Amino acid sequence: MLLSMTGFGRGETLCSDGRKLTIQISSVNRKQLEIRFSLPPDMSALEIPGRKLVAGEISRGAVQVRCSVTADSSSGCNAEVNCALLDKLIRESRAARVRANLAPEVAVESLFVLPGVLENRKSDVESPELTAAFESALTAALRDYRSMRTREGEVLKNDLLARIQKLENWHSELETMTSAYPEMAKQRILARLENEKLPILADDPALLREVLFYVDKGDVTEEITRLTSHFQQFRSFLESAEPAGRNLDFLAQEMFREITTLGNKAAVSGASPVVVAFKAEMEKIREQIQNIE
């Protein structure tokens, strides 16, 4: 199946201590795989296993993974007091008040607003529970993310199938137009000789060599055949279970090259408008492929 390179997914896991891990994954188009993690500082060690999970699901694109941790208000306070710092501040405050001839009593609660006195309890990155919670939330986010990419991929697939059908129709027109070219070239040469009053037999070796030269110069049989093969491969890639974006991109370039060569060689007047329409549609296909993983 086709997967879009753009998508969004979200996953959450609730820890036993009431903390909730929330992970969001988003991505945009990129030729190669680029993964960026945004984790709380005390969870940075989990980036390595996180990258392995993400890389196992995604082959290319610019991927952003954001993780946040929030405490459940019903689970109680998730903070701890830096007692050593608080005791030092109390002693310094009392000494300062004595020096200023003030009563030595200190409003301890007012010291809690100072930086470093009241700290959020740090996550234990070595905790199996935290690691499992992180992987669970990330797996859920990846599952949600893949679901969105699958839906968009199906839309892209249907669009490309419709466009390929257009190309196949024009391809059939070109094949019909160019199939009569050898006989047309022969008759053109004979008519030219007749106009010049130069009698010559139809089976004359010199005439046959001339006909072969012109036929070879304007023959597009190889291009027609290769385009037929490319269409078959293109449809096969659209049905593939593996990431097909790179293969489709390469195949689209080859198809564009073949139709360009065909347009340059085809010696029939009706071919040019069809070739122009074919190339314009190919450009749209190439742009659309940039959205596919």
pLDDT above 80 (res 161): yes
Q: Which residues contact 292 (CB under 8 A, 6 or more apart)?
A: 2, 3, 4, 5, 153, 156, 244, 245, 248
Based on its alpha-carbon atoms, the radius of gyration of the chain, rounded to whole angstroms, reads: 36
The predicted structure's pLDDT at residue 292: 94
Q: Which residues pair with 120 in a beta bridge?
A: 79
Specify the 3-state DSSP secondary structure of 146: helix
Nearest Cα to Cα of residue 240 among 145, 157, 142: 157
Give the tokens for residue 166.
């257009």
Q: Which of 43-57, 67-81, 83-97 has the lowest mean pLDDT?
A: 67-81
Long-range contacts of 70-73 (CB under 8 A, 24+ apart): 70/19, 70/20, 70/22, 71/18, 71/19, 71/20, 72/14, 72/18, 72/19, 72/20
- Say how many C-beta atoms besides its own lie within 10 A of residue 293's C-beta: 22
Cα-Cα end-to-end distance for the chain: 10
The predicted structure's pLDDT at residue 183: 67
Give the torsion through C-alpha atoms of 161, 167, 168, 174, to 10 deg: 180
**What distance in Å separates the CA atoms of residue 47 and residue 58, rounded to the nearest whole number?**
16
pLDDT above 80 (res 278): yes
Helix or strand (DSSP H, E) at 285 = helix 271-289
The predicted structure's pLDDT at residue 104: 78
Q: Which of 121-125, 137-141, 199-203, 258-262 has the lowest mean pLDDT?
A: 121-125
Give the tokens for residue 280.
């314009």
In the predicted model, what is the mean pLDDT of residues 88-112? 83
pLDDT digits (tens, 9 = 90+) for 185-222: 666 666 666 676 666 655 667 666 766 666 666 678 88
Tell the burial category of 226 from Cβ atoms under 10 Å away from its Cβ (0-12, 13-18, 19+). middle
pTM (predicted TM-score): 0.71
Q: Read off the pLDDT band of 119 (50, 70, 90).
A: low
pLDDT digits (tens, 9 = 90+) for 38-73: 998 888 899 999 999 999 999 999 999 999 988 755
Q: Give all strands of the β-sheet with 19-28 in edge-to-edge order.
A: 7-14, 19-28, 61-71, 33-38
**What distance in Å separates the CA atoms of residue 211 and residue 191, rounded to the nearest whole number?**
12
